Structure 1
Amino acid sequence: MLERRWLEMTWRDGLFCHWPIDPAVVSETLPDRLSVAAHEGDAYLSVVAFVMDDIRPRGAPVGLSFPELNLRTYVEGPDGPGIYFYNLDADDRIGVAVARRLFALPYYRAEMDVSRPPTADRPGGAGDPIRFTSRRSHPGVPHARFDATYEPTGEAFAAEPGSLDAFLAENYRFYAAGNRLYRGEIAHEPWTLREATADIRANTLFEASGFERPDGDPIVRYAEPVEVGADRIRSA
């Protein structure tokens, strides 16, 4: 973990959906000083959904919790490799306002629900499929919807160094472009991942960020809960 953690939180119910894409398509969307990071010739666009639980400044006894949904890609930057976010939709009015005003992050308000709906043969409790829905409600920005049900199907594993799973999941730096380029650092234990299935009924995040919908099915992973520390965002 970071030596001086500004924020502490737990991430849970994580869904990773990764689509390969031509690096040239991604390159056109990046700000100055960032370039595309590719794995075996492919760039990737990833939709990531999860719940940010018990978010609190270091030492605070009680924190906030809300779902988040983001579209991201993978880049090389002045401080090393990292993630570049096209959006971070969140169901928290105050958190979105603070992140937009102070940190230049592309946060947008959205109405979200994360649940484990019961079925005829399942009670709808822990370990059952997760339904994640989001409808962007932020004024003055493109509309975006997401509706998916997902569940793990494979054994738990840690990504091997140098593997595609490591390239897509083991990222501890992000960049954001406002009036200048910013970067943030996070820290946590390596992800515990599982192969997963996802029934994606709606997903307009690509169109909302100016991309055509990628061809083919995504690589889908479920992420076990992890405790996260985050540093303050700084100029890159």
Structure 2
Amino acid sequence: MLERRVLEMTWRDGLFCHWPVDPAVVSGTLPDRLSVATHGGDAYLSVVAFVMDDIRPRGAPVGLSFPELNLRTYVEGPDGPGVYFYNLDADDRIGVELARRLFALPYYRAEMDVSHPATAKRSESAGGPVRFTSRRAHPGVPHARFDATYEPTGEALAAEPGSLDAFLVENYRFYAEGNRLYRGEITHEPWTLRAATVDLRANTLFEANGFDRPDGDPIVRYAEPIDVSADRIRSVC
């Protein structure tokens, strides 16, 4: 339950790419107050790409929209389980500057483009291919590129409680380290997911965050659009 719903938005064109890794790969990269969460003995590193659409203070008639790309893992923390962000690349100059200035969070300015090459006009729920490109344009930090085309291929599914899908996507708390450890809370209906294919032409987020590229192919999911409410970011007590 959120203490206060500060922001409302819609997330669309969502891509989840999940790689299983040995927990030791993750454990040494976490702040002292976080520990690795595992499923079936594996930790996971996930690249998540999506568009944050119509972001606005609750009750405001008009909002902003921009793409975001992040690398994350799954943790147990002082305020409960959640995801931990290594980077949050966004095509939003003002938001990135504020997040870095106020909290020193790992937000980076990037030049991004999201397009739907199969159709000239596409409704939010139509499915079909999505091309997502990102080139980090933030000075003084490691370069990062991402270029992928992804497309839903399966029937809609909800993540069953206790399943791997639920472990990877049904997370309503996040942690990020800046000038201290912070956490945020969101709320939304359960995700509607679809199996998906991805043509991953470029992805240097692992190298940019000090990881070797994981072996094997990722678990890939396409996420249907979803309405999200978010509380303000708070320091972890």
- 1:83 alignment counterpart: 83
What's the CA shift for 1:103?
Answer: 3.3
- 1:233 alignment counterpart: 233
- 1:64 alignment counterpart: 64
Within 1, Cα distance between the matches of 2:105 and 2:61?
26
Classify the secondary structure of the residue corresponding to 1:232.
coil
Within 2, Cα distance between the matches of 1:230 and 1:197?
30
What's the CA shift for 1:235?
Answer: 1.4
- 2:92 alignment counterpart: 92
Contact 2:128 2:152 (C-alpha < 8 Å) held by counterparts: no
Classify the secondary structure of the residue corresponding to 2:24.
helix
Within 1, Cα distance between the matches of 2:103 and 2:55?
16
Contact 1:84 1:174 (C-alpha < 8 Å) held by counterparts: yes
What's the CA shift for 1:124?
Answer: 6.4
Contact 2:10 2:53 (C-alpha < 8 Å) held by counterparts: yes
- 1:111 alignment counterpart: 111
Letter in 2 for 1:125: R
What's the CA shift for 1:214?
Answer: 0.2
Letter in 1 for 2:85: F
Task: Among all aligned residue pairs of Structure 1 and Structure 2, give the percentage whose two residues are the same amino acid.
Answer: 87
Contact 1:17 1:220 (C-alpha < 8 Å) held by counterparts: yes
What's the CA shift for 1:176?
Answer: 1.3
- 1:200 alignment counterpart: 200
Contact 1:104 1:176 (C-alpha < 8 Å) held by counterparts: no
**What is the RMSD of the two structures over their aligned residues, measured on CA atoms?**
1.2
Letter in 1 for 2:174: F
Letter in 2 for 1:74: Y
Within 2, Cα distance between the matches of 1:125 and 1:229?
25
| Higher mean displacement: 98-107 or 208-217 | 98-107
Letter in 1 for 2:220: V
Classify the secondary structure of the residue corresponding to 2:191.
coil
TM-score, structure 1 as length reference: 0.96
Within 2, Cα distance between the matches of 1:151 and 1:216?
20
Structure 2 runs not aligned, ≥5 long: none
Aligned length: 233
